[in-house]
Structure formats: C-alpha cells, structure tokens
C-alpha cells in the first residue's frame, strides 16, 4: 500500500509541470463550455441538457469549414492564425445557431405553457438525444481528425515542461473569449438585461426588458462559446457524433464546482477541474479518469452545492 | 410589429417547411464524412409511382408534404372546433367505460388472457424472440422506472445500472463470472431471482442515499453519470465481470423437483410465459403500492416536498424506497435476459438503454401503470418492426433519433402521456395554471 502511494507520488512529482500545463489547457475548454450551462441556469434556473450537442455541432461545423478551406495545402504562419480564427468563428456560429434552435423548439413552447420543470428536463434530454443521433446518421458514426492547422511543436518550457503550440492556442483563444464575455455581461446593455432577468424576471419585464429576447441572447452567447470550444477541443481529439457527452458532463461539473449561475465561478471551476483531472492521471488508470471528474461532481453537490464562489448570475458580474 | 415574417400564416408555413425538413433528414439514407447531406439530395424511391412524384429528389417530395401540412394546420385553425366536437362525440363513450373499476379489472384480465394466447398466433421466430427479449423485459423495466419517475417524480437517467446489477448477479450466482460464486455453489437461475432483486435493491439504496438529497436536475445528471460508471466498471473490471468481452455460459432456468424435470431452453415461448407471470405479479404489486401509504407519501412529496415534510413524511426515506422498489423489477429483468440469452454483454448497459426505458414511461404516461405497459408494448413493437422490415435507408441506430424527437413532441403536446394517470394530469394542469408546487424543487433556489 505504501509502495503504491510512493511510486504514484513519484510519478506526480516527475510529471507535475507537464500535467499541470495540459490540465490548464483542457480547463480553458471546460470553462468555455461551463459558461453555457451557467448562463442558461442563471436566467431559466434550468440545466440545459442539450448543451453537449450544441458543443458537438460547433465541432462538426468548424471541421467541415476548415477541411473545405485547407484542401491539400500545408498552412503555416499567418495562414494558421487565420485558420484558427476561422475555426473559432464557424464553430461559434454553428453552436449559437443550434442553441437558439433548441431554445425555440424544446424550451419556448413549454415556457409559454408554464410547464413544470420536469417537462423541461425531459424535453431537453430529448433534444440532446435527437441531435447527436441525427449527427451520427448524417455524418457517419466514426471519428474524423482535423487536417493539420498548425505545427504542434513545443514553444517554450516551464520548469522543464515543454508547452506545446496547441496549449498556447487554447490559452490565448480562451482568455480572449472569456474576458470579452465578462466585459459584455458586466458593461453592455445586453449584459445588463441578462443580469436583470437572472435577478428577477418579473421586475425586469416591468422595467421594459424583453424577456424572450434576453433568453435567446443568453442561449446564443452560451452556444457560441460552446461551439468555439468544440473547435479547440476537436483539434486534438477529433470530431465524432458523441463527442459532446464527456466534455459537457465535465463542464457541468466545472460550472457546479465554481457555483452555477456564476460566470467567474465557471471559469475558476473549469480550470480547477482540468488540473485536478490531469493530475489524477498519476493515480488512476486511463479508463477511469472520467470517474475522477465525476466523483468531484458528486462530492461538490453533496457538500457544497452552491460551489466555491456561490450561485447567482445577477450578482457575479 | 407588423413585419411580414411575424405574420401567423408565414410562421405557420415556415414551421411546416422546417418540420418536414427535419423529417426528411431523419428518414433519409445515411450520410458520411464525404457526403454529409446525402439525406437531403437523394431520390425518394426507385419505383415510379404517383405520376413520378416519388422518383423526384427527396426535397421536392417533402416540400409537397410541407404544403399539405400547412393546409391541414390552417384548416385545423379555422375549422378546429367542429373537428374536436366530432372527435369528442366518437371518443366520449370509451373514455367513460375505462373509468369504471370493475370494467378496468375485467379489461386487465382480458388483456392477460390475450397476452397468454399470443404465442399461438405468432409463429415467426423473430417475433417470438422479440416478445420476450424486447417487449416483455422492457415492460418490466418500464414498470420499474414508472415507480421512480412516475410515482416519486425523480428523473433517473441511470436506470440501466439496476438492470446490469440484476444480469451480473445472475451470472455471478450461476458461476459464469470470473468472480467465484458464493460458497463456490453454482445455482439455478431461479435462486438467482431473489439474490439479484436484493442486490439491485441494495444498489438502489446505495446509489439513492447520497444522491436523492439533491434537487431534481442535479439528480438527473448524477444518475446519468452513475449509469456511465456502471458501464465503465462492467467493461473494464476483467477479473470480476469478464470485461468488454462479456461473460457467457449462464444456464437456463430449470426445475428439478422430485419427478418434475423441466428446462427452459433456447425456445422463447416458455420464457415468455415465465416473464408474463412476473409482469402480472409486478403490475399487481405496484398497483397495490400506488394506493398504499407509501404511494400516497410519494404523491405528497412529488406535489409539495416542503408540505409533505412538515406533515412528518421523511422525503429522503421514501425517495430511497422508490429507487429500491423500482430497481427490483429492473433487477428481475436482468435475470431473465441473462438466463435467456445465456450471456451478459456490457455494451448493452449504456445511456441509450436508460433513455429508451424513459421514453416508454413518458410515452405511456408518467405515474400510470397501464400507461407504462402500453408504452413499452407500442414503442418496442414499432422498433422491432423497424428492425424486422427496415424501410429504405434505415439504420438500427436511427431509432434513437425518433425516440429523442418523441420526447420533445410528448412534452410539448401531451406531457401526461398516452394513458395519463388522473392525478399526474391534474398536477401538470395545476402547475401550468400557476397553482400547486409540483416539481418546484427543481427550479426553486437552493436553501
């Protein structure tokens, strides 16, 4: 038993920095997906079960766009940067579109009827199930790898850990998008209406906030971030119709960990979960890593269901 | 506000076209990486019929369907009242009959007799097997999930876990697992029934005690994760479950009592009767339960948890009970499957399975036992028919698309299901009218 731990802590000690860097990179992706859960939860008090498929559709859209643009060329330098931008934008656009469609088809009819919450949950699960199986039918049920967009060599080293180009790309894209979002929610008129609806929908509507439009905007922002994150995720992991399930479950964990309904909490939770999960590689066998992330979820829900930073979208920004 | 795209007729036309576009995608031939939109562009069918309409590209055929839908929809809006009146005249009588107690009971008896005679009319071996493996077993599972989702109002997305526990318990007790059985004795599957049911109920208690404190939406996601974990364990614990290859050589049910010797073989009909007997048992048990003290406690918790708690009902205790009782029939379904197929394969125990069962319950009617049975029979028969005689371009996995769409459609148009439980229907109506507290726990703020 002691042997088990010393040997595993040795792995942890030797591999700490590389694992940390990798964990932060996947943490950015979780954070971007977690924002989608948190925003929708903030205004509707519901978990959007179809968010995993919004993520998936972003991955497929950016895959098809990038493949069409690249053709057989070997991009480098400025081309690579433009392609990354293109992937983020196309993924984000598809994610936003699907998110708005889901809201229109699976949520709004129920909202009109003031359906009980169980109905929303079931309808969202139906939407998720419909979308990912439809994608499997239309695009085939196998994994596609992206064509090479940039050369993934180590750019610099931290404490002996080579930081690869991919991590740099994810971190830069993630930081830009998350800061933009934070500013939009905190400063713009749009963000103000989102926060107002999150605090008190009825009063907000009396003050002239269009609730329907605000909800659509919320889905749109969350979907765009999720779709863009799917592009960053797909660069290394490829695209397949079931790709949304695991990252979305983890992103949900991240949202709960940071305090669901809280934007900065989602970012914190995402980064934390990414690192925890990455470091747990030293202790558990590869096929059980998802169990580690999930254990975090159950523990957080049981002992601190409001998360690290607490709930409430209205207050957070 | 009078923008042209907001006019009701335009919205109706656009909705008709998009609904038909969705149907076209869903029913079309499968696409691939190279041709992602094959479902839209292909031709409808080879044979020329209806003046060549069906030989034209699929999108044009579905455009015609969309126009038809638009026409019917508009007609319904303008002449809907007359249609509804006519329909209610036709339907009024049977609806009244179904509400009388004695008639309901005799209808149930007739149904059981019909079910018992059914194997004499069904000679196709495909359908005989399907009646056991895909319909009777799913009826059991739907009955179990109905206790959890329908009676107690808890959305469990990992129900497959209990089914898996039942199947693996059978394999274990009969000595088919790498894990040696208890005391090294290889038992007959009949003895596996109580053990499997007990283990499944235990799993329900173990899974429920920590998670059932959570709000409804959190519960859904946690149970979903547990379902996946069960699959991971079944798939990876090679020394215990046999890993991804599964485990075989589970014996059939058999009776060796003095001079009576009978072995259930590969033939599905004897298994059908065995399962039918247990279906009847579970239906009786669950309908007694529904109106017992426990059932009334579940209703109370479902409708208003805070009020129920203030009346001295311990919500956690009764929720855990619902999990354990629902798990019992799933565990038994696991025994039947394991013994009948002689084989346990972990690739079955996935989220797909749990959602499939959920669809049966939602379609039939949450909280209604007859609904759960009917839902399982109808949906499983349709899905088996699609496998037996697949239409052009149909792949077995396409069923999941339809099931997903069905969940949305049911929630929008008939949330209480095909054969609604009276109480549930009233609750949903009250919730929509803004009265009562049904499911408020799901959306309420955390304390």
Sign of CA dihedral A220, A221, A224, A230: negative
Query: Are residue B315 and residue B203 in the same domain, yes or no?
Result: yes
Q: Residue A314's pLDDT is what?
A: 54
Tell me which residue of B361, B414, B375, B425 sits closest to B99, measured CA to CA. Answer: B425
Task: Transcribe B146-207 into DSSP letters.
Answer: IIIIIIS----S-THHHHHHHHHHHHHHTT-SSSPPGGG----HHHHHHHHHHHHHHHHHHH
State the nearest Cα–Cα gap between A100 and chain B, in angstroms. Answer: 14
Residue A291 within a domain: no
Q: Residue B440's pLDDT is what?
A: 41
pLDDT tens per residue across span A206-242: 888 888 889 999 999 999 999 999 999 999 888 999 8
Contact B405 A126 (CB under 8 A): yes
Domain span at residue A124 reads 20-243
Confidence of residue A317 (pLDDT cuts 50, 70, 90): very low
pLDDT tens per residue across span B110-167: 888 888 888 888 878 888 888 888 899 999 999 999 999 989 888 899 899 999 999 9
Does residue B345 sit in helix, strand or coil? coil
Query: Are residue B83 and residue B140 in the same domain, yes or no?
Result: no
Q: Tell the burial category of A238 from Cβ atoms under 10 Å away from its Cβ (0-12, 13-18, 19+).
A: middle
Query: Are residue B92 and residue B115 in the same domain, yes or no?
Result: no
Contact B428 A123 (CB under 8 A): no
Domain count, chain B: 2
Query: Are residue B76 and residue B137 in the same domain, yes or no?
Result: no
Residue B139 within a domain: yes
Four-point Cα dihedral A30, A36, A41, A47, nearest 10: -70
Instruction: Look at A305-309, B194-198, B203-207 and tell me which has the smallest mean pLDDT.
Output: A305-309
Query: Are residue B389 and residue B414 in the same domain, yes or no?
Result: yes
**Residue B249 backbone zone (phi > 0: left; psi -120 to 50: alpha; other: beta):** left
Residue A166 within a domain: yes
Residue A3 within a domain: no
Q: Residue A62's pLDDT is what?
A: 93
The residue among B45, B63, B96 that closes a domain is B96
Confidence of residue B267 (pLDDT cuts 50, 70, 90): confident
Considering only the beta carbons, identify the residue of A122, A133, A138 that sits closest to B39.
Answer: A138
Considering only the beta carbons, identify the residue of A45, A127, A136 that sits closest to B443.
Answer: A45
Tell me which residue of A208, A207, A194, A205 sits closest to A261, measured CA to CA. Answer: A194
Contact B31 A122 (CB under 8 A): no
Chain B positions touching A130 (Cβ under 8 A) are: 401, 404-405, 407-408
pLDDT tens per residue across span B225-242: 888 888 888 888 887 887
Query: Are residue B130 and residue B255 in the same domain, yes or no?
Result: yes
Domain span at residue B217 reads 111-443
pLDDT tens per residue across span B353-378: 999 999 999 999 888 898 999 999 99
Q: How far apart are CA B38 and CA B59, in angstroms?
A: 11
Strands (DSSP E) contained in chain A are 154-158, 161-164
Residue A269 within a domain: no
Q: Does residue A12 have a pLDDT over 50? A: yes
Domain count, chain A: 1
Residue B105 within a domain: no
Q: Residue B16's pLDDT is what?
A: 86
Residue A277 within a domain: no
B262: β partners: B255
Chain A positions touching B36 (Cβ under 8 A) are: 64, 138-139
Q: Does residue B344 have a pLDDT over 50? A: yes
Confidence of residue B190 (pLDDT cuts 50, 70, 90): confident
pLDDT tens per residue across span A42-63: 888 888 999 999 999 999 999 9
Residue B164 within a domain: yes
State the nearest Cα–Cα gap between A22 and chain B, in angstroms. Answer: 24
- Token code pair at residue B388: 């037996």
Q: Residue B271's pLDDT is what?
A: 87
Contact A126 B401 (CB under 8 A): no
Contact A288 B232 (CB under 8 A): yes
Residue A266 within a domain: no
Residue A175 within a domain: yes
Task: Transcribe B397-424 into DSSP letters.
Answer: THHHHHHHHHHHHHHHH-TT-SS--HHH
Cβ partners under 8 Å of residue A16, min gap 6: A279
Indicate the pTM of the whole model: 0.87
Average pLDDT over residues A52-79: 88
Query: Are residue B87 and residue B214 in the same domain, yes or no?
Result: no
Cα A63 versus chain centre, distance: 17
CB contacts < 8 A, A to B, total 171
Confidence of residue B252 (pLDDT cuts 50, 70, 90): confident
The residue among B61, B96, B131 that closes a domain is B96
Chain B positions touching A138 (Cβ under 8 A) are: 25, 30-31, 36-39
Helix (H), strand (E) at residue A13: helix A2-44
Residue A267 within a domain: no
Q: Testing the interface with B: which of A106, A122, A305 to mutate, by most B Cβ within 10 A?
A: A122
Q: Residue B442's pLDDT is what?
A: 36
Query: Are residue B75 and residue B164 in the same domain, yes or no?
Result: no
Chain B residue with minimal CA distance to A128? B404
Higher confidence at residue B299 or residue B59? B299
Asked whether A40 and A51 are in contact (CB, 8 A), the reply is: yes
Chain B positions touching A297 (Cβ under 8 A) are: 221-222, 225
Q: Residue A155's pLDDT is what?
A: 76
Q: Does residue A305 have a pLDDT over 80? A: no
Chain A positions touching B439 (Cβ under 8 A) are: 116-118
Contact A134 B401 (CB under 8 A): yes
Chain B positions touching A100 (Cβ under 8 A) are: none
Residue B87 within a domain: yes
Contact A136 B397 (CB under 8 A): yes
**Residue B172 backbone zone (phi > 0: left; psi -120 to 50: alpha; other: beta):** alpha
Q: How far apart are CA A132 and CA A145, in angstroms?
A: 18
Residue B257 within a domain: yes
Contact A144 B214 (CB under 8 A): no
Tell me which residue of B79, B73, B86, B59 sits closest to B13, measured CA to CA. Answer: B73
Query: Are residue B78 and residue B225 in the same domain, yes or no?
Result: no
Query: Are residue B86 and residue B146 in the same domain, yes or no?
Result: no
Query: Are residue B337 and residue B379 in the same domain, yes or no?
Result: yes
Contact B439 A298 (CB under 8 A): no
Chain B residue with minimal CA distance to A45? B443
Cβ partners under 8 Å of residue B136, min gap 6: B272, B275, B276, B279, B336
Q: How far apart are CA B259 and CA A51, in angstroms?
A: 62
Cβ partners under 8 Å of residue B103, min gap 6: B97
């Amino acid at each position: 038993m002691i042997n088990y731990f010393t040997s595993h802590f040795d792995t942890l000690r030797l591999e700490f920095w590389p694992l940390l860097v990798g964990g932060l990179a996947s943490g950015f992706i979780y954070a971007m997906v977690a924002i989608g859960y948190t925003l929708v939860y903030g205004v509707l008090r519901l978990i959007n079960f179809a968010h995993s498929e919004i993520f998936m559709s972003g991955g497929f859209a950016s895959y098809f766009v990038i493949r069409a643009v690249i053709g057989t060329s070997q991009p480098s330098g400025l081309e690579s940067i433009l392609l990354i931008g293109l992937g983020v934008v196309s993924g984000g656009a598809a994610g936003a579109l699907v998110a708005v469609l889901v809201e229109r088809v699976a949520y709004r009819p129920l909202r009109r009827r003031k359906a009980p919450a169980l109905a929303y949950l079931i309808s969202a699960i139906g939407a998720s199930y419909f979308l990912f199986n439809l994608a499997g039918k239309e695009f085939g049920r196998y994994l596609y790898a992206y064509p090479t967009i940039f050369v993934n060599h180590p750019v610099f080293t931290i404490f002996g850990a080579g930081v690869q180009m991919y991590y740099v790309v994810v971190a830069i894209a993630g930081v830009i998008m998350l800061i933009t979002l934070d500013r939009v929610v905190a400063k713009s008129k749009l963000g103000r209406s989102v926060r107002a609806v999150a605090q008190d929908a009825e009063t907000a509507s009396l003050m002239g906030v269009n609730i329907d439009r605000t909800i659509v905007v919320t889905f749109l922002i969350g979907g765009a971030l999720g779709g863009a994150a799917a592009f960053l995720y797909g660069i290394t992991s490829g695209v397949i119709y079931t790709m949304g399930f695991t990252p979305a479950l983890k992103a949900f964990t991240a949202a709960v960990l940071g305090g669901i309904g809280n934007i900065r909490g989602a970012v914190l939770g995402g980064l934390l979960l990414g690192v925890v999960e990455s470091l747990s590689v030293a202790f558990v066998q590869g096929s059980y890593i998802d169990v580690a992330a999930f254990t975090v979820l159950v523990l957080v829900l049981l002992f601190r269901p409001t998360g690290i930073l607490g709930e409430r979208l209205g207050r957070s920004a | 506000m009078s923008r042209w795209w907001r006019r009701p007729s335009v919205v109706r036309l656009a909705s008709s076209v998009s609904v038909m576009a969705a149907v076209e995608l869903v029913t079309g031939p499968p696409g691939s990486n190279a041709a992602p939109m094959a479902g839209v562009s292909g031709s409808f069918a080879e044979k020329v019929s209806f003046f060549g309409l069906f030989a034209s590209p699929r999108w044009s055929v579905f455009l015609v369907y969309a126009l038809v839908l638009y026409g019917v929809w508009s007609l319904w809006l303008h002449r809907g009242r007359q249609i509804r009146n006519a329909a209610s005249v036709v339907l009024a009588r049977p609806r009244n009959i179904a509400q009388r107690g004695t008639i309901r009971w005799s209808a149930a008896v007739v149904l059981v007799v019909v079910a018992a005679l059914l194997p004499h009319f069904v000679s196709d071996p495909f359908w005989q097997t399907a009646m056991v493996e895909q319909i009777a077993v799913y009826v059991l599972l739907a009955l179990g999930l109905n206790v959890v989702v329908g009676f107690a109002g808890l959305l469990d997305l990992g129900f497959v876990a209990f089914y898996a526990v039942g199947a693996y318990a059978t394999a274990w007790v009969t000595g088919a697992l790498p894990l040696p059985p208890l005391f090294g004795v290889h038992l007959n599957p009949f003895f596996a029934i109580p053990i499997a049911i007990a283990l499944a109920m235990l799993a329900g208690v173990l899974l429920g005690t920590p998670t059932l404190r959570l709000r409804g939406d959190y519960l859904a996601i946690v149970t979903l994760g547990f379902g996946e974990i069960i699959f991971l364990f079944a798939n990876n614990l090679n020394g215990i479950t046999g890993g991804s290859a599964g485990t075989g050589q589970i014996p059939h049910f058999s009776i060796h009592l003095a001079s009576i010797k009978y072995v259930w073989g590969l033939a599905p009909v004897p298994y059908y009767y065995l399962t039918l007997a247990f279906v009847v048992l579970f239906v009786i048990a669950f309908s007694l339960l529904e109106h017992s003290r426990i059932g009334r406690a579940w209703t109370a918790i479902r409708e208003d948890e805070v009020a129920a708690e203030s009346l001295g009902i311990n919500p956690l205790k009764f929720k855990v009970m619902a999990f354990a009782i629902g798990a019992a029939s799933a565990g038994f379904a696991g025994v039947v499957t394991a013994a009948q197929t002689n084989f346990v394969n972990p690739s079955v125990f996935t989220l797909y399975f749990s959602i499939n069962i959920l669809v049966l319950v939602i379609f039939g009617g949450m909280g209604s036992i007859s609904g759960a049975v009917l839902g399982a029979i109808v949906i499983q028969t349709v899905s088996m028919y699609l496998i037996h005689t697949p239409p052009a371009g149909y792949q077995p996995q396409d069923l999941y698309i339809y099931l997903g769409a069905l969940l949305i459609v049911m929630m929008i148009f008939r949330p209480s299901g095909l054969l609604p439980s009276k109480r549930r229907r009233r609750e949903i109506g009250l919730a929509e009218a803004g009265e009562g507290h049904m499911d408020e726990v799901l959306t309420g703020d955390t304390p």
